[in-house]
Chains A and B, each alone.
Chain A
Amino acid sequence: MAESNHAFVRTAILPPQAPPLTEKGAIRWLRENLFSGWFNTILTLAALWAIYSLVSASLPWWLNGVWNAGSLGECRAIVAERAGPDATGACWAMVRDRWHQFMFGFYPQDQYWRPTIAFGLLFAAITPVLFSGQKRLRTFMLIGVVAFLVATLWLATVPMLPAGLTIILMLAVLALAQVRPAALMWFTVIYPALAFFLLWGGSFWVPAAAMAGLPVLLLAYRLLLPWTGVGIAAGAGIGLALLWWAVLDAPVAAGLARLAPIGLEPVASDRFGGFLLALTIGVTAISFSLPMGILLALGRQSDMLLIKTLSVGFIEFIRGVPLITLLFTASLLLQYFLPPNTNFDLILRVIILVTFFAAAYIAEVIRGGLAALPRGQYEAANALGLDYWSAQRLIIMPQALKIAIPGIVSTFIGLFKDTTLVAFVGLLDPLKGITQIVRADIAWKGIYWEPYIFVGAIFFVICFGMSRYSMYLEQKLKRDHR
C-alpha cells in the first residue's frame, strides 16, 4: 500500500489477539474431544466414573503390596498392621520367594548359570538374522549381550572355566561382527547344539556329532550341485545326513566321549519348568516352524501331485485339530505306540508337535503372501532365466515374506503364549504349572491374582517386544511409496 495521509487509515498492523479462553490449549482439546456434544459428554462422564471406581478399588491393593514375608498369612498381618484391619494388599513376597521356580522350574540351583548363558547367547545368535545389514544395531545388541553375561556370570558365581570360555566366545562374536558380519551366521547355525549342550548337559560329543551331519549335508550338496539339479543335490545331501545321524552319529559320539570325556552334569527334562520351559519350547518351535512353513506353502502351490497332496493333507489335518489334542497325543498316545521303557523325552515330543502346529499356520500365512504377489513377478523371474529355487530365493520369497510379516509374527506370538497349554500334560509351565505348585504350599495357598499378574507381565514384555520388532522390520523393508 502506498503512503497515506488520511487520519482514519492505520499505519501499523495490530498485533494478533490471543484466542478466547475456550478456544485454546487444554480447554479446547477437552471441548473438541471429550465434550463436543451431549452424547459425548455423557460417555466421557461415564468413562471417568468407571476409571475412578476401578482405580479406587484396586489402588490400595497395589499400594499396600508386601515384598518381604514368609507366607500369605504374614502378608495379611503386615497389610493389616500398616493400613488397618480391612485393607487389602498384594502379596508379592510370593514372587520373591519362588522367583527361581518361576524362571527355571526345578533346574538344579547350582547350574542356573547354564540356562542363563544359553539365554544370553540366544540374543547373540538371533542378532545376525534379525538385524542383518544393521551394523550399529547389531553391535549395540551384542554389547548388551556381553554386559548381560558379564553381570550374570559375576552375580551367579559361575565356575571359572565356563565363564571364561563364554566371555571369550562372546568377544570373538563381537569382533567378528565388526570384521566379517556375514560369518556371524555360523554362530547362529551352531547355536542350537550349543544351547542343547548347555541346557541338558551330558557329553559334549553328542550335540557335536549331531551337528557334524550338517557339513555332510553341505558337502554332498556342493559336490553334486554342478552335476545334478538343486532338488537331487539337496535330496542326496539330506539322505547322506540322515544316514550319518541314523548309523554313524551314536558310535562316533560314544567313541569320542571315551577318548576325551568332556561334558556337563546332565539335567533331565523333567527338571525344566517355568519360563525356561516356555522359552525352550517357544524358541525352538518358532525357529523350526518358519522354514517348515515356507516349504509347506511352496509344496501346496506345487504342480507335483504327491507333494501337493501331502502338503495340503498335513496343513489341513494339523489346522483342523486343536493344539490340546496334539499335546495329549504327544503325552498319551505316543506312549502306546512306542516300545515300552523307551524314554522318548516328553518335552521333545511336545516341541515336535508344537512345531508342526505352528508350521501349518505359518504355511497358510505365507500362502497369503504368495497370493498377494502380482503374476508379473513370477513371469519376470522366469523371463530372467532363473530356475525355480533361484526365483523363489531372489524374487518371490523376499516379497511374499515381507507382505506376510504381520501374520507371521502374530502366529509366533500366539505360539509363544500357547506354550502355557503344556500344563495340561503335566509339564510345569509358568502360568499354571508353577503357580499350582506355589499354591500347593500351605504358606501360599489362597494366593490368586499375584502369580497371574506377574507371569502375565513377563509374557507381555516378550510378546510386546516381538510385536515392536515386526513393526520395525516392516518400516525397514518398506519399498513402496504409499
Chain B
Amino acid sequence: MKKSLFFGTLAAASALAGFASADTLADIKARGELLCGTNTGLTGFAAPDANGVYQGFDVAVCKAIAAAVLGDATKVRYVPTTGETRFTALASGEVDLLVRNSTWTFTRDTDLKFDFVAVNYYDGQGFMVKKDLGVSSAKELDGATVCIQTGTTTELNLADFFKANNISYTPVNVADDSEAQRQYVAGACDAYTTDASGLAATRATLPDAENHIILPEIISKEPLGPVVRHGDNNWGDIVRWTFYALVAAEELGITSANVNEIGTSTVNPEIRRILGTEGDMGAMMGLDAEWAKRAIAANGNYGEIFAANIGESTPIGLARGLNAQWTQGGLMYAPPFR
C-alpha cells in the first residue's frame, strides 16, 4: 500500500512535470524574462562587458527572441553554462533555450532529446601555425606537436584527420583557450587547433599576428545553433522562425535602420508578411503581429549582427564564408515566409 502510494505520487509528479514544461511560451510570459543558456565567456559570441552586460553573436539571438516574445530585448537572464552543465541545464528546465556555440550532432539531437532548431554559425576546425614553420597545408604537419583542448570533439577530429592522411603528430593537451594560446606563443607546440572562429580571435590578439597563418584545411563540420528540448514544438518554432526572420531580413534588405518604415512603404509581400503589415503570422505561433519587427529592431538583421560582433570590421575579423547568404555563395538560407 505504502509502496503503491509512493509510486503513484512519483508518477503524478512526473506527469505534472510534463505539463509544467509543455508551454514554455506561457512560462516565459508569466515570468517576464527569457532564460537563455549561454557561454561562461567566448570572445565575440558571448561575454559580459565591463558593466556586466552580455554582448556577442550568440547573445544577439537571445535578445532577438526576447524582443519577439516579450517585447523587450533586455528582458533576458543569461545563465552561464560550462561544457559539462549546458545540456543538463536545458533538459532540467533551468533555461528555456541554449545558445552556446553547441554543435548539432546526431546523438545530441536524438539521444539527448533536444532539437537544434537552426544553425546560426557554420564553424569548422582549423589549424594555426607560425609562418616561419614553412607549412602551407595541414597535410604537411607530419611529426608536428599540436596544442589541443582535452575533452572536446576537436580532439577526436584531430585524431581522425591525422589517421586518414597517414601522418603522425604529438598532442600537447591544454585545458582551455587561454592556456592553449600561452603554450602556442611560448613555442610548446607547432600548431594550435580549434574552431576556426576561435583561431581567428586568438590570432587577432597575438602581438605579432602577421607572423601566424591559419591553414586552409577545415577538418570538421561544426554547425552551431540554438537548442531547445523536446516536448514543446511551438516554442521550437518560435526560436526557429525568429532566427530565420533575421536571416530573411538580410536577404530582403530589412535593416535596423529601415525596419520601422519599410513595412508600410514596400510593395514586397514577403517583407509585409514578415513585418506584420499583412497577414497574421505571429498569431499562428501565439505571438502578436509585430514579433519579427521587434526581433529585427533589437540588433538588426543577421548580417548586421555578424558585422557588429565578429565581422571583418571587428578585431576578430571573420569573413562571412559559409555564413554568407545563399545568394552570395553561403549557406544561410531562410525558408519562405508564406
- Measured CB to CB, the residues of A under 8 A from B are 72-73, 76, 97-98, 101, 105-106, 109, 268, 270-271, 328, 331-332, 335-336, 339-341, 423-426, 428, 433, 435-442, 445-448
Closest B residue to A439 using CB positions: B178
Q: Give the interface centre of A72, A106, A335, A445 by most chain B CB atoms within 10 Å.
A: A445
Q: Once the chains bind, are A437 and B41 in contact (CB under 8 Å)?
A: yes
Which of B14-22, B148-156, B161-169, B268-276 is the contact stretch?
B14-22
Complex: A446 Cα to B88 Cα, angstroms: 30
Complex: A339 Cα to B14 Cα, angstroms: 8
Give the residues in chain A near B13, CB-CB below 8 Å.
339
Closest A residue to B45 using CB positions: A440
Which of B40, B94, B202, B314 has a CB less than 8 Å from the CB of A437? B40
Extra A-B contacts (19), CB below 8 Å, given A425-B85, A440-B47:
A268-B77, A271-B52, A328-B84, A331-B85, A339-B16, A339-B17, A339-B20, A340-B17, A340-B93, A341-B27, A341-B93, A426-B81, A437-B40, A438-B41, A440-B39, A440-B46, A442-B204, A445-B43, A448-B181
Complex: A438 Cα to B48 Cα, angstroms: 8
**B294-338 interface bits toward A, Cβ cutoff 8 Å, 1 = contact, 0 = none:** 000000000000000000001110000000000000000000000
CB distance from A468 to the nearest CB of B (A): 33
Closest B residue to A98 using CB positions: B50
Give the residues in chain A near B42, CB-CB below 8 Å.
440
Closest A residue to B186 using CB positions: A448
Interface residues of B in 103-160 (CB under 8 A from A): none
Closest B residue to A338 using CB positions: B92
CB distance from B182 to the nearest CB of A (A): 5
Which of A335, A341, A441, A446 has a CB less than 8 Å from the CB of B206? A446
Which of A72, A339, A442, A446 has a CB less than 8 Å from the CB of B44? A442
Interface residues of B in 39-69 (CB under 8 A from A): 39-44, 46-52
Q: Once the chains bind, are B202 and A445 in contact (CB under 8 Å)?
A: yes
Q: Once the chains bind, are A445 and B50 in contact (CB under 8 Å)?
A: no
In the assembled complex, B205 has its CB within 8 A of some CB on chain A: yes
CB distance from A331 to the nearest CB of B (A): 6
> Can you list 15 residue pairs at the A/B interface with Cβ under 8 Å?
A98-B50, A331-B88, A332-B88, A335-B92, A340-B92, A341-B20, A341-B21, A426-B89, A437-B48, A439-B41, A440-B42, A441-B49, A442-B44, A445-B178, A448-B182
Q: Once the chains bind, are A335 and B50 in contact (CB under 8 Å)?
A: no
Closest B residue to A451 using CB positions: B178
Give the residues in chain A near B82, CB-CB below 8 Å.
423-426
Complex: A271 Cα to B48 Cα, angstroms: 12
How many B residues face the partner with a CB closer than 8 A? 46
In the assembled complex, B210 has its CB within 8 A of some CB on chain A: no
Q: Once the chains bind, are B84 and A101 in contact (CB under 8 Å)?
A: no
Give the residues in chain B near A109, CB-CB below 8 Å.
51-52
Which of B27, B50, B178, B207 has a CB less than 8 Å from the CB of A448? B178
CB distance from B33 to the nearest CB of A (A): 10
In the assembled complex, B80 has its CB within 8 A of some CB on chain A: yes
Which of B16, B52, B80 has a CB less than 8 Å from the CB of A426? B80
In the assembled complex, B261 has its CB within 8 A of some CB on chain A: no
Give the residues in chain B near A445, CB-CB below 8 Å.
43, 178, 181, 201-202, 204-205
Complex: A447 Cα to B13 Cα, angstroms: 49
Question: If the complex has contacts A341-B21, A445-B202, A446-B202, are A101 and B81 also in contact, measured as CB distance less than 8 A?
Answer: no
Which of A336, A439, A442 has a CB less than 8 Å from the CB of B314? A442
Give the residues in chain A near B219, CB-CB below 8 Å.
none
Question: If the complex has contacts A335-B88, A426-B80, are A440 and B51 also in contact, measured as CB distance less than 8 A?
Answer: no
CB distance from B108 to the nearest CB of A (A): 17
Give the residues in chain A near B52, CB-CB below 8 Å.
101, 105-106, 109, 271
Complex: A328 Cα to B84 Cα, angstroms: 9
Complex: A339 Cα to B19 Cα, angstroms: 12
CB distance from A349 to the nearest CB of B (A): 12
Q: Once the chains bind, are B41 and A332 in contact (CB under 8 Å)?
A: no
Closest A residue to B86 using CB positions: A426
Shortest beta-carbon contacts, A-B, top 8: A440-B41, A440-B47, A335-B92, A446-B205, A106-B52, A436-B41, A445-B205, A437-B41
Q: Once the chains bind, are A270 and B316 in contact (CB under 8 Å)?
A: no
